[in-house]
Chains A and B, each alone.
Chain A
Amino acid sequence: DQQVKQNSPSLSVQEGRISILNCDYTNSMFDYFLWYKKYPAEGPTFLISISSIKDKNEDGRFTVFLNKSAKHLSLHIVPSQPGDSAVYFCAASAGSGGSNYKLTFGKGTLLTVNP
């Protein structure tokens, strides 16, 4: 039972355009969401996060939107750059009072930004 789903295995966009990566989740106990970026042969690196008390968090070119009623979040990258080409993982954790360290990851979306 996959609790965090990234239904698009890959996405290709032109440099300068917007990249939108989507993530759906099923566990209503999730209250914190993170995006990680992974280059080949490297470990994932933290990109941006959002708490369930917010619906938007912005950091430079990266914005994460959370729609709790739809159990959906998205990562927007504007403008996209070739260096953004990587695998993007959505992750979630549940319970600020307990095991919130246990991240549940999606399978990832490979983003390719074409020059």
Chain B
Amino acid sequence: GAGVSQSPSNKVTEKGKDVELRCDPISGHTALYWYRQSLGQGLEFLIYFQGNSAPDKSGLPSDRFSAERTGGSVSTLTIQRTQQEDSAVYLCASSPGPRWNEQYFGPGTRLTVT
């Protein structure tokens, strides 16, 4: 079956612009995660959605970052007024349920802020 898909695969934007990154999880997966991988770093947890529960936003680095998940499926990560330090690969993952340790990742969106 189809895996996690993300779009765009690459995004170059000017400092100060807003960007939207999209994630389509695996069909039927109720849990969805966003991570960020900056150059030379490990994956950094950003936000977690599970069903209709309130999302865990504890990893969002600033209030310029927000995410939503519509209809329990597709998710959009929005970064407002982008800064150069936002340049990273943004990875989305999904899993069948809330207590499922193995997460299935998409290919990521490489964001470059110039």
Chain A bound to chain B: yes
Question: Which positions in A face B, CB cutoff 8 Å?
Answer: 2, 4, 6, 32, 34, 36, 41-46, 49, 89, 91, 93, 96, 99-108
Question: What interface size band does chain B fall in?
Answer: 20 to 34
Chain B residues with CB below 8 A from A89, complex form: 42-43
Closest chain B residue to A43, Cβ basis: B105
Q: 12 A-B pairs, CB-CB below 8 angstroms?
A: A6-B42, A44-B43, A46-B103, A46-B104, A93-B101, A96-B99, A101-B95, A101-B103, A102-B56, A103-B101, A104-B42, A104-B45
Bound: A4/B50 CA distance, A: 25
Given the interface pairs A107-B40, A107-B42, A108-B42, the reply to whether A43 lies near B101 with Cβ below 8 Å is: no
Q: Is the interface of A mostly helix, strand, loop or mixed?
A: loop
Count contacts between A and B, CB distance < 8 Å.
64
- Residues of B contacting A96 in the complex (Cβ-Cβ under 8 angstroms): 99
**Closest B residue by C-beta to A9:** B40
- Asked whether, in the complex, the Cβ of A32 is within 8 Å of the Cβ of B101, the reply is yes
The answer to whether the Cβ of B106 comes within 8 Å of any Cβ in the partner chain is yes
Give the residues from 22 to 64 in chain B that come closer than 8 angstroms, CB to CB, to chain A.
Answer: 31, 33, 35, 40-45, 48, 50, 56, 59
Residue of B nearest to A6 (CB): B42
Known: A43-B4, A43-B91, A43-B93. A103 touches B41 (CB 8 A): no
